[in-house]
Amino acid sequence: MQGSAINNNMLKHRSVVVFFLLCFTFAFAQSAFAQDEDAQAKAARDQAQKLYQTFKNKDWKGLYDLIQLSPSVAKQLNGRDAFAKDFETGLKQGDPTDNLGKVVDNMSDIRTGAAIVEGKYAYVSCTSVVVIEGTKMRFLGMVKLIKVGDSWRWDLSFTDDPEKASAQRFSEMLGLPAVDKG
């Protein structure tokens, strides 16, 4: 009988140890998951900031490294130099009065905010100040990114029309003016 009581105590002791080990493992796993989420969100925010800066610098070769196009469009590309040249030509033809250039040139105080990561997509809130006809306006926008390998890229992969994709995503990135009615 005494041996049975010792075995029961040992079993209870083992159960308590196993319980605490499971709790510790779960807490550690949750902490590691949260740290990974934080790292992914930070990487997405950094990439969104880099995207804005690439537009400010009119670095179309650099833009090539930051985008993800649809597979059929990507197959048609002939590298960074050709992309940069075609992008510049497309801007000049599609925007002969250079409205995009004027907006980008007058953009300042660019900030990225919250990043929501959902699987292979990230949505990064962003703001910028743009001077339009002498008036400073704060714009509120969002950058949609897609995870490709280990890096976040500006998601232009939703259509086989690269002009439509870049126009739509830039419009979302710039966003809408924040209007103070109070």
* Domain 30-177 indexed as CATH 3.40.50.300: no
**122-170: per-residue pLDDT in tens?**
999 999 999 888 889 999 999 999 999 999 999 999 999 988 998 899 9
Q: What are phi and psi of 96, to 5 degrees?
A: -60, -25
Per-residue model confidence (pLDDT) at position 163? 86
For residue 29, pLDDT over 50 is answered with no
Per-residue model confidence (pLDDT) at position 1? 53
**Cβ contacts of residue 180 below 8 Å, gap of 6+?**
none
**Which parts of 58-95 fold into alpha helices (H)?**
60-64, 71-76, 80-94
Say what the alpha-carbon torsion angle 97, 102, 104, 110 is, to the nearest 10 degrees: -150
What's the rounded Cα separation, in Å, for the pair 44 and 153? Answer: 9
CB 69, CB 165: distance < 8 Å: yes
For residue 118, pLDDT over 70 is answered with yes
CB 141, CB 175: distance < 8 Å: yes
Nearest CA-CA partner of 138 in 98, 165, 175: 175
Segment 100-124 mean pLDDT: 91
Per-residue model confidence (pLDDT) at position 127? 93
Q: Angle formed by the axes of helices 2-57 and 162-174, to 10°?
A: 100
The H-or-E segment that residue 118 falls in is: strand 107-118
Domain boundaries, the chain: 30-177
* 77 vs 114, higher pLDDT: 114
Per-residue model confidence (pLDDT) at position 88? 85
**34-80: per-residue pLDDT in tens?**
456 689 999 999 999 999 999 999 999 999 999 999 999 988 888 88
For residue 9, pLDDT over 60 is answered with no
Per-residue model confidence (pLDDT) at position 158? 95
pTM for the full predicted model: 0.75
Q: What angle do CA 147, 149, 154 make, to 5 degrees?
A: 35
**168-181: per-residue pLDDT in tens?**
999 999 999 987 65
First to last CA, the chain: 81
